[in-house]
Chain A
Amino acid sequence: MKGSFWRKAAAFGVTALGLATVQSAAGAAEDTTIAVSIPAADHGWTAGIVYHAQQAAKEIEAAFPHIKVIVKTSPSASDQASALEDLVASRKVDALVILPYSSEELTSPVKEVKKKGTFITVVDRGLTDPTIEDLYLAGDNIAVGRTTADYMKQALGGKGDIVVLRGIPTVIDDERIKGFQDALQGSNIKILEMQYAHWNSDEGFKVMQDFLAKYNKIDAVWANDDDMLLGVLEAVKQSGRKDIRLALGGNGMKQMIEKVKAGDALTPIEVPYPPSMIKTAIYMTAAQFNGQAPIRGKVKLDAPLITKENADEYYFPESPF
């Protein structure tokens, strides 16, 4: 009797008790569908999201034949909302893993899916109503700034003049900058200037050229994303200046991880905000339908320092990012 109750619960994804449900080997006959809804690949980081989601889908389906993973990409928030409607209209979806375009616009569409008893995993950007999600998984943008600043303090001996390239005015950008500034407090490292370069390599190049023209001595530069760092490095190279000791980025783009692996002098470390987090989320959601591992709750991936020693762990040569 008990077994049948649990099987039903698994099928509908409704578990009020907050415990993981079980679908034992005996019950594997019932198929489980996990839908994954993510932004389309329009820049490096989202390209990484798409790559890792597809990898995870393949691996999960190979490991657990009763689980089917559908990956759906959408080019905008409204497309993503329509995609959700289509997904649940045509089939029974046991779990939804979603990286929402924007919190506000996707909250009510996800709520509609939830009403059908679907297990909801939210990744990276939270919904405005946190009671909808069964599992929330994200990286830590404040830690991205903090880890970078801590390394910079140590590498520069606690003092120096630095410049910072910000991305696009968003919460993500603000958090990274806040983590960075807070961690620098009390040191003698001075931020000469910050400018927005819109997470774009070409703008990173221009802004860095202008910083170099304006300041005679720059000890280090932090671009809070690796796309901008690409442009920064070209500008530094062109100037031929030797005063810049560090040029650091963030996110974990494979070209930068390659530099870290090679022991590059300007970019000896990286700090991840890895798109592979979507894979973590899909794996954890699959655990909900296999084995009795409790997964409800909030998971925050840290932003540890990537050095030459552990760079392989964050290196995905096949990924576009």
Chain B
Amino acid sequence: MTIMTAAGAGGRARLVPNLTTAGPFLALFILVCLGYLMNHDFLAMSNVLNVVTRSAFTAIIAVGATFVISTGGLDLSVGSMAAFVTGIMILFMNMIAGDIGLWAIPAGMAVVVVAGSLCGLLNGAIVTLGRIEPFIVTLGTMGIFRALITYMANGGTIPIDASLREAYRPIYFGAIAGIPVPIVVSAAVAILASFVLYKTKFGRRCSAVGANEDVARYSGISVPAIRTAAFAIQGLCVGIAAICYVPRLGAATPTTGSLWELQVITAVVIGGTPLRGGTGRIWGTIAGAIILEVIGNLMVLSDFVSEYLVAAVQGVIIIIAMLVQRLSK
């Protein structure tokens, strides 16, 4: 009964956007207005597209994190995992580029998606089979993935083969009907994810497990299976983000994706998903990811923040955005 009510209430909230879920969008709207007042170039089409495109990696990974967090888990390894699977993808593509030419690109995409999913599955399996707190497990795998990419790169850079570089560029820099590809990809991921989270049995079970593990278990839900699946989805999202990331700079380095885990968790929480789990708000997460990128953009476009104080002002804005989100409830 409890589960049905919780899930039912959540489902209704999403069909008709009401004030409960409008918080992050309100915060984003206020930021955009402020940005326009500070510098009119802020709303220039090229700037808007740049910023939203840049937010795509955080957004895609954060969609996965919304699943994990809604089940009551947490994944700190996403940044290192992104670097690790990016490295695997580039090494794989470079290895086969000589034999199959440009087909190496789709092959590489397939590999990175599988690699990401397996990494996520590994996290999930350790959490559920080992019965260890997700915080500790993913703190461990965070170090492992980071060390592996550093090892693979000898501490330096793993660049993509020159013969693939130009052909792959459009996946970040190209556009479909005027919309940059990464935006299209993150929108597709979000639509699919909101369908899974809100319209399927699996999605409702994710929220149920996060809301109350014991009740979920008594209702016949396999809690470990749901949790593991959420981590696997997180890994899958990291793989998809890597597909869009590689063509931007064409390389993986030991500093790729550093601190992304914090960006991702911040985006999810600003978006209205509580850290303790029980509900997940996919579109709020997307808004959260865009908010973070807009803040960074504003720091450069506005003239009155000293370069030394940027991080402090960013921190203040994040907290205010969170308050706007809370107060609008």
Contacts and interface: CB of A to CB of B under 8 A. Distances in A.
Contacts of B41: 213-214
A196 B250 CA distance: 22
Contacts, number: 94
B307 A207 contact: no
B328 interface: no
Contact of B156 (A195, A202, A214, A321): A321
Interface string A182-213: 00000000000111100011100111011101
A109 interface: no
B163 interface: no
| Ranked 4 nearest A-B pairs via Cβ | A41-B155, A320-B156, A47-B155, A210-B300
B248 A205 contact: yes
B325 interface: no
A279 interface: no
B50 interface: yes
Interface string B250-280: 1101111010000000000000000000000
A302 interface: no
Q: Which of A169, A206, A213 counts the most B-chain CB atoms under 10 A from its CB?
A: A213
A211 B300 contact: yes
The interface size bin for chain B is 20 to 34
A238 B301 CA distance: 19
A207 B155 contact: no
Interface string A248-292: 000000010000000000000000000000000000000000000
A272 to B, nearest CB: 16
B308 interface: yes
Range, interface on chain A: 35 or more
B54 A206 contact: yes
B300 A234 contact: no
Interface core residue of B39, B249, B299, B307 (most chain A CB under 10 Å): B249
Given A195-B310, A201-B251, A44 B157 contact: yes
A51 B154 contact: yes
A222 to B, nearest CB: 15
B297 interface: yes
A201 B155 contact: no
B157 A255 contact: yes
A43 interface: yes
Nearest to A200: B255
A196 B310 contact: yes
Interface string B276-294: 0000000000000000000
Contact of B159 (A213, A255, A321): A255
Contacts of A227: 253, 255
Interface in A47-71: 47-48, 50-51
Interface in A279-321: 319-321
Given A207-B300, A210-B47, A227-B253, 17 more contacts: A42-B155, A43-B254, A43-B255, A47-B153, A47-B154, A47-B254, A50-B155, A51-B154, A166-B307, A169-B308, A205-B249, A213-B297, A214-B300, A234-B249, A255-B159, A320-B155, A321-B156
B173 interface: yes
A126 interface: no
B296 A196 contact: no
A93 B250 CA distance: 44
Nearest to A238: B173
B150 interface: yes
22 contacts: A41-B154, A41-B254, A43-B255, A44-B155, A50-B154, A51-B154, A195-B307, A201-B249, A201-B251, A205-B248, A206-B54, A213-B44, A213-B46, A213-B47, A214-B301, A227-B255, A230-B249, A255-B157, A255-B159, A319-B156, A320-B153, A320-B155
